[in-house]
Structure 1
Amino acid sequence: MSIALTGPKLGRMRAALWFTTLLLSTLCADVSAAADVLRIGNGPEPETLDPHRVEGVSAGNIVRDLFEGLTAVGDDGSAIPAAARSWEVSDDGRVYRFHLRDDLRWSNGDTVVAADFVFGLQRSVTPDTGSSFARMFEPVRNAAAIIDGRLPAHRLGVQAVDARTLQVTLDAPTPALPGMLAHPSAFPVHRASLSAHGSGFARPGRLVSNGAYRLAGWVVQSHVELERNPHYRAAAAIPWVRYLVTEDIHAELQRFRAGELDITYEIPPLQAARIRREYPGALRIAPYLGVYYYGLNLTRAPFAGKPALRQALSMVIDRQVLADKVLHGLALPAWSFVPPGMHALEAPRPDWQDWTPTRRQAEALRLYRQAGYGDERPLEVEIRYNTHESHRRVATVVAAMWRQALGVRTRLVNEEFKVFLHKRRLRRETQAFRAAWMADFNDPMSFLGILHSEHGKNDSGWVDAGFDAALMRAAATAEPAVRANLLAAAERRILDDVPVIPLYFYVSKHLVAPRVRGWRDNPLDYHYSKDLALDRAPGDR
């Protein structure tokens, strides 16, 4: 039997056939293109690609591909040459000279010069920029006064000696300076683009960068697309990099299993054992200089002026259970704020760490009652966190520990990442809140500095004159032993006053597809796409 197709029916069939053909050709194109595209799961939506305003890990990952600092991070976490081919330091440790490579270009072909790095550092410490990392550069001459608005940015102790030489003058010896300059807040920006577009300069079609890649596209809540920068001094092996938003870690794992991702942002702790069996060669777990903690808002009730309450809540949290049971061995218990191995001397730890559970709980209950709470008047508190399965699980277990040991009534509040950051930092609409910190450079100051009373990341609003003074003295001394003692004393004040509750130290945990070559674990978990390559599947051309 034959059927004649005429009029509207034929039109609809032709349209359906055209759509099917287009869909198949698109899918085939995507599969073919995947041979030249590195697909990276990147967690939450990046908040910005302005290097001086970047805050989150996901944005930092992208910005390190787009831009290049004077230095980069090597396999052991130390500073290695990047835009600067070499540097030297004066005998007194207060003056650094960086020598730029001869073949540096912006993604539009303009020459990169020392003055671009000078401008980048000046912009980073200018109050109007709003960089959360400005205080990191306080060792640079006049930086503190500029950050406080007492001096103009051009007074910063950084100067272009000539087009290829940059000099940094410090108030005190700072051995960590080369590592600090690998951070996005020290990156240069293209001055003409910033002048033309203002705060919108870091968008597709406008962003001019100096790294191995340039910005090709950005689809909000989907992905950021990078393409190889034709003007970079050494062409990257991979022509395209796609950073995908993967806030749902279970969905991310499914995409990896389906071959849609080459690198995951992390792995679901609940599936750790299965993943170890399923992907023994692809799973990469390594030490990572990062701490997961709960910040406590000290600017309002219930935590303002209540160190005993804060200590009680910290004491009854079983960190070992969090690391072993909730995170399935993908973390280390955190009894201090600075990760192990970073202090030159033995790291401080709370006196009650080695107490029996019974003794610890009894003391916590005493402190809880001393703070004015008990069975008749239980503490009611919220834990706020950005949407993520692991954050929810940790909050649920901590709330259960607080309830069982002290009778605390806890409300859990989850929010989209940008909303969470806004309420936590700008409006301080929090009580207890999830937070994390990853080292910007391999030194205890990278962690302790964020709790300085004037640091942009001090979301607890903690003010402790003794702590601030210890950090300032540590920054001003050239004697390693004296500096180490001062930093240890500063951390002891954190443990005693409890503006934050450290919960666990991170390990990096990624799935890396077999076709990715060049991956190397490092303690800062920095991975530059330009250092990677892709094996082609049979039949790829």
Structure 2
Amino acid sequence: MSSFRKLICAILASILCFCTAACGSSTADAVIKFEMDSTLKNIDPQLAFSPSELLIVRNTFEGLFRYDDGGKLIPAAAKSYTLSDDGLIYTFYLSEGLVWHDGTPLKAQDFEFGLKRAADPALKSPHSYLLSGIKNADAIIAGNRSPDELGVMALSDYVLEIMLEKPNPDFLTLLTNPVFMPCNRQFFEKCAGKYGLSANTVLSNGPFYVKIWDLETGNIRLNRSGEYKGNIKTLPSAVQIYTKSETSTLIERLKSKDVDIAELNYSLIERVQGRKTVEIYDTCYCLLINPQSNIGSNLIRRAFSLSIHRNAYTNEMPNFFKRADYHIPPDLKVANKKISEIFSFVYPVDYDPVQARGLFLEGISKHPGKKFPSTTLLCIDDPSVRTVATSIVQRWQQDLGAYINISFVDLSKMKSLVMSGDYQLALYPVSSADDSAINLLKKFTSNSPNNFCGFSNAEFDTLVESLKDTTDENELIQKLTKAQQMLFECYTAIPIFFSPRVFAVSDNIVNFNPDLKSGNIDFAFVGKRSTIR
């Protein structure tokens, strides 16, 4: 080859390399910058409640099973398992050599302690209902048995036995949820009541660990764990997480690409044009009417329901909300299909102000003093939600002559008031810990510790319990329809609208696949292209 031809080849090769670099190549050691729409209160796996808390737990802890980057269920801490012939006893064999991020060996006793702690009613774990089906779990959660009687036992340091009350073909899937994560008892007790409340009181076994948690700003940094020896490769070297920035600051950071991924309040969708957005409809805002309150009679509840003008508030609410004709958000799944793909339900209550007025007056006539008491609707302090709440309240005033105050509170206070029964009316967000429609419906069952609306119906309980064993799609749809009808007939939780979780994503981010069942974002699989500017 002549010198001239060699020179040309070298130049072409250089151009090709430059173009490749300019277009960007995926890097496995980048720092992912992520902005959350909420702050964290704790990252205790057995107590984590908000989507943001669950996201951190799923990225820093790992259970017996997990999902890979293709959404396939794979072994994690458990290298293998056996199942008894009757489908009731799972025996898990843990991989030896796995450790917590401080180098402490991970053992079967850590899973036993974590599960028994989650079942203890004194803890009030928000997702303890997911343990239902493990031997004695329901009785323990109800306070009728000791947590030590839970059907979970470490047979040795690396063998764990879990006993069920009846076969559950989806049990391995349940094990990916945060409430099933291990907890090192010695470390937990050393924290003296502060477990999960700071970087120094979190001991994790997942692909990342909490390096820094600034309790003043809420910002948190997850570093790749050098001690992690699991079945997946962790791409980023770290994830820097910012929490709850001022709107103007967040928008500027998105424009200047100082943030790679941002979880947005839904109201900001139109302000991030030019950025890819991903929307997941996983929450249903329900109007709760407390049956135990001084306005909770069946007559008053029916009157309020008949006086909700759905077309009126739908026309006023933002485009990113979807009117809810049933309780299950459209992106939740049943039988591995989104609810929106297999299920439709005609809202059974027509707007009827005349009948509503009659029922309201009849209800007031039976009220002490024959006078409508001072009444307050609790509402999240969010302008978009406030628009819907105001529309509903104004219609009640117009149709019923009922004057309702609106109290705007943050989510944590609303949850506290609703769960304690200390409310009259609330526009309350209902969601599941995972992508399961069945698990969301379980929140309405009589003995659920997460029953937020006072609904109690033994037939409904049996129906919901039977859903997980129903494989025929037509039968499944019939059961879902019946379950929805039963909820409507009680008039304690009326679906109003669905709201999304929204993420804005930079062009240089690859393999970003938020998914409800895997904690929305599995940062271990997220890549980031390097570019030359």
With structure 1 as the length reference, what TM-score do the two structures score?
A: 0.79
What amino acid sits opposite 1:210 in the alignment?
N
CA shift, 1:527, in A, is 0.9
Which residue matches 1:6? none
1:302 alignment partner, one of 295, 313, 318: 295
Question: Gaps (5+ residues) in structure 2?
Answer: 1-28
Deviates more, 1:212-221 or 1:416-425: 416-425
> Which residue in the other structure is 2:431 paired with?
438
| Maintained 8 Å contact 2:77/2:98 | yes
- Structure 1 range deviating more: 182-191 or 342-351: 342-351
Aligned to 2:107: 113
**In 1, are the aligned partners of 2:303 and 2:357 still within 8 Å (CA)?**
yes
- Report if the CA contact (8 A) 2:62-2:77 is conserved: yes
CA–CA distance in 2 between the matches of 1:172 and 1:488? 25
Aligned to 1:530: 524
1:311 counterpart residue number = 302
Hey, what does 1:187 align to over in structure 2?
Answer: 181
Matches within 5 A, 1:63-142: 63-73=57-67, 79-87=73-81, 89-90=83-84, 92-142=86-136
Residue of structure 2 in register with 1:158 after alignment: 152
Aligned to 1:332: 322
CA distance in 2, matches of 1:536, 1:409: 58
Change (3 A) 1:510 1:194: same
CA offsets per residue over residues 391-450 of structure 1, 9 Å max, x none? 333322332333344333222212244333333334x33222232233334443211111
Query: Which residue is equivalent to 2:213?
Result: 218
By how many angstroms is 1:134 displaced?
A: 1.6
**C-alpha displacement of 1:349:** 4.2
Give yes or no for contact 1:66–1:210 (8 Å, CA) kept in 2.
yes
Structure 1's 441 and 173: CA in aligned 2 closer, same or farther, altered over 3 A? Answer: farther
Asked if 1:199 is matched to 2:193, the reply is yes
Q: Tell me the equivalent position of 1:259.
A: 257
User: Who is 2:348 aligned against?
Assistant: 352
Counterpart Cα distance in 1 of 2:485 and 2:266: 34
- Give the aligned partner of residue 372 of structure 1: 364
CA apart distance, 1:107: 0.6
Q: How does 1:408-447 map to 2 (within 5 A)?
A: 408-426=402-420, 428-447=421-440
Asked if 1:208 corresponds to 2:200, the answer is no
Q: How far off is 1:209 after superposition?
A: 0.6
Structure 1 residue 210, shift from structure 2 partner: 0.8
Give me the CA root mean square deviation: 3.3
Query: Which residue in 1 is equivalent to 2:6?
Result: none
Native 8 Å contact 1:125 1:137 kept in 2: yes
- 2:226 is equivalent to residue 230 of structure 1: yes
Aligned to 1:242: 240
The farther-off stretch of 150-159 and 139-148 is: 150-159
Provide structure 1 residue ranges, at least 5 long, that are not aligned to the other structure: 1-34
Q: Is the 8 A contact 2:44 2:202 kept in 1?
A: no
- Change beyond 3 A, Cα 1:76–1:174: farther
Whole-angstrom CA distance in 2 between matches of 1:201 and 1:439: 24
Offset, 1:99: 4.2
Which residue in the other structure is 2:396 paired with? 402
Kindly indicate whether the alpha-carbon contact (under 8 Å) linking 2:135 and 2:163 is maintained by their aligned counterparts in 1.
Answer: yes
Deviations 1:135-164 (A, max 9, x none): 221211111222233332232112334444
> Aligned AA for 1:368?
F
Q: Contact between 2:380 and 2:411, CA under 8 Å: does it hold in 1?
A: yes
C-alpha change, 1:198 and 1:244, in structure 2 (3 Å) is: same
TM-superposed CA distance for 1:80, in Å, is: 4.4
- Pick closer, same or farther for the CA change 1:389–1:537 going to 2, 3 Å: farther
Return 126-135 or 254-263, whichever deviates more: 254-263
The question of whether the paired residues in 2 share the 8 Å contact of 1:78 and 1:179 is answered with no
| Distance in 2 between residues matched to 1:321 and 1:85, nearest whole Å | 56
3-state DSSP of counterpart to 1:535: strand
1:334 counterpart letter in structure 2: A
TM-score computed with the length of structure 2 as normaliser: 0.80
Evaluate the alpha carbon distance shift between residue 69 and residue 512 of structure 1 in structure 2; reply closer, same or farther with a 3 A threshold. Answer: same
Q: How many residues end up aligned between the 2 structures?
A: 489
Aligned pair in 2 of structure 1 residues 382, 445: CA closer, same or farther (>3 Å)?
same
Structure 1 counterpart SS, 2:200? coil
Contact 1:73 1:79 in 2 (8 A): yes
Give the letter aligned to residue 261 of structure 1: V
Q: Give the letter aligned to residue 109 of structure 1.
A: G
**1:295: Cα distance to partner?**
2.6
The Cα of 1:334 is off from its aligned counterpart by 1.4
Q: Is it true that 1:282 corresponds to 2:276 in the alignment?
A: yes
Deviation, 1:285, is 2.6
